[in-house]
Amino acid sequence: MKSEANVIQLYSRRVYEDIMTFIGKFESKHTQKNYERSIRNFFLWLHNVNKDIEYLSVDDLKVRNADMIRYQKYLKDHEAEYTNITINNYIAPIQSLYEFLEINEYPINSKHVKVDMLSDDSEHTGPLYLNEAEEMARIVHDDRKQGQEKSALIRTAYTTSFRKSSILSLEWDDIKKNPNAENYLVTTIGKGNKRHTMPISVDLYNELLKIKDQKYYHKYKDNKIFHLSNNTIQTMMNKLKEKMNISSDRNVKFHSFRNVAASFGTLEEAKKHLNHSNISTTETYYRHINEDYSNSISLRIEDKIDDSVLEQLTKQELIDLIMNQNNGTLAQLKREAQEYIQNKGEMNN
């Protein structure tokens, strides 16, 4: 019996070693991590095997084409924040793995894992703007069920630009008082297992603390901040879009809260805020900010306007002009105005 057990263990280990050999073919450590994560997640889901890949046997590799279609649908239905491109990126490593295993004489058919790739919707996760995000937080705050938690979730989402999965994984211990400033630091593990820390205001932290005051919250003992399901969040978003008359053509999703920050600061600042590895990814968010061609550089460069035009405006007209600027420009003007006032006060003293 002991010998037979050793044979089974050795045989199972061979599957794992071959999987890791396949993953090791790729030079990029980033690609290796992505492939390993995709493969692990798939086998944890497949047939409810619930096994880590270290313990897979050859029988555990058996898969039908219907299984792959169900898995694709599962990712689309149960992971609402995933774009089609993300889902394609989770499935591609599985297809490549089965081709590799078939070449290496495993009794499988790699055609069984072939499914049609989903259309590219990476540019179609609709934009959302600060005033809309703030309005959403105000509206859901009055919800009879979990209103405080929903409102704080939305504020956390558009303030930190964390992904939904990261926010839902947050624990109270992940928030620390900033020793160097009057704010709090929130740390999460984001996409690609990258550690990501963002500051939040004292006001937002206090809104999070109010969740603990809700009667229903006392039943939870897991130290998690949020206890909203994906279905609850999806229903919330659907109701908000209907109430605010947000057209379905805009394709606004919970993931759209990450777009809000893109209108503040430079492209490099947005890249850091969004925790992107590649600035080209950040540019897809930036494209949503200003689609008005009348403000294009090619037109502005030929638009010769004398500086004295500002002197012809009344004080109220100048204020109105400033307040109508985009969020990033307005925030910068406010900061500089505050510095002027502070400097003026110091000079008078």
pLDDT at 329: 75
User: How many other CB atoms are there within 10 angstroms of residue 248's CB atom?
Assistant: 9
pLDDT at 228: 94
Chain mean pLDDT for the chain: 81
pLDDT tens, position by position, 198-207: 889 999 999 9
* pLDDT level of residue 83 (50, 70, 90 thresholds): confident
Higher pLDDT, 161 or 8: 161
**What's the rounded mean pLDDT across residues 109-131?**
80
The residue to which tokens 């049609």 are assigned: 116
pLDDT at 40: 92
**What's the rounded mean pLDDT across residues 230-237?**
92
Residue 251 backbone zone (phi > 0: left; psi -120 to 50: alpha; other: beta):
left
pLDDT at 43: 92
C-alpha angle 294-300-306 in degrees, rounded to nearest 5: 125
pLDDT of residue 82 exceeding 80, the answer is no
* pLDDT level of residue 279 (50, 70, 90 thresholds): very low
Instruction: Please give the structure tokens belonging to residue 51.
Output: 């096994």
Statement: the pTM of the whole predicted model exceeds 0.75: no
Q: What percentage of the chain exceeds 70 in pLDDT? A: 77
Helices (H), the chain: 2-24, 29-45, 65-78, 84-103, 130-141, 147-160, 164-168, 202-209, 230-243, 257-260, 267-274, 279-286, 297-300, 315-323, 327-348
pLDDT at 4: 46
pLDDT of residue 298 exceeding 50, the answer is no
**What's the rounded mean pLDDT across residues 70-79?**
82
* pLDDT level of residue 335 (50, 70, 90 thresholds): confident
pLDDT tens, position by position, 150-184: 999 999 998 888 888 889 999 999 999 999 889 99
* pLDDT level of residue 290 (50, 70, 90 thresholds): very low
pLDDT of residue 131 exceeding 80, the answer is yes
pLDDT at 284: 54
**What's the rounded mean pLDDT across residues 1-6?**
47
Q: Three-state SS for 113?
A: helix
**What's the rounded mean pLDDT across residues 214-240?**
93
Burial label, 232 (beta-carbon count in 10 A; 0-12, 13-18, 19+): middle
